Amino acid sequence: MSDILQRLAAHRLVPVVVIDDASHAVALAQALVDGGLPVAEVTFRTAAAADAIRAIAARGDVLVGAGTVLTPQQVDEAVAAGASYVVSPGTSRAVVERCQEHGILALPGAVTATEVQAALELGLTTVKFFPAGTSGGAKAVAALAAPFGDVGFVPTGGIGPANLAEYLALPSVRAVGGSWMVPRDLIRAGDLDAVRDLTAEAVASLPTPELAHP
């Protein structure tokens, strides 16, 4: 699990994907690879999620996880499809414990001190800060990091090119989740060349590690 965290931290940016048609999954994965960002969080917001994860995982060149996982049953589906990590919008003991049973990384959502403590009590070291934009943004992450010095955060929600660097400048931020480089309408339309170009632009906009953590 620590290896998966290290890989997410190395990429620093995680595309949060909604796929309506699993037949687009392989081309989407290729677009991400060609854009220089071979990682994806495929959300369980559509019926195509498990099949899309399965298709992407089968390639072997993209770190693919499952997002918007709300139940232990969805954890089972995600793991069976080949997901390397599981992301939830909130902290659910049942979901985290099922992930632990499978030996897979869980990133539950937490935006308050109480939620972070609940995650720590479940043995976790990193949480998803969601929804970041409406929960105080980078300043809120910095404030939470003060009492929870060993906790890592993956902010997601309301993040884009304009504020990406602000989050990545925080030592406690392991990576940032975003969807601006993988718009649902472009994926639905099969315009994966546009997704590739947006992904390449997003990668090019990432601050250097030295600037991110002065």
Q: Tell me whether residue 128 is one of the annotated catalytic residues.
A: yes
The single residue listed with the structure tokens 């990668």 is: 203
Q: Say if CB 28 and CB 188 are below 8 A apart.
A: no
CA 51 – CA 42 distance, rounded (Å): 10
The single residue listed with the structure tokens 């996880």 is: 65
Q: Say if CB 91 and CB 127 are below 8 A apart.
A: yes
CA 53 – CA 87 distance, rounded (Å): 13
Tell which phi-psi region holds residue 204, choosing left (phi > 0), alpha (psi between -120 and 50) or beta. Answer: alpha
Q: Tell me whether residue 41 is one of the annotated catalytic residues.
A: yes
For residue 179, the tally of other CB atoms under 10 A from its CB is 18
CA 102 – CA 171 distance, rounded (Å): 29
CA 178 – CA 164 distance, rounded (Å): 9
Catalytic, out of 121, 128, 166, 201? 128
Q: Which residues are catalytic?
A: 41, 128
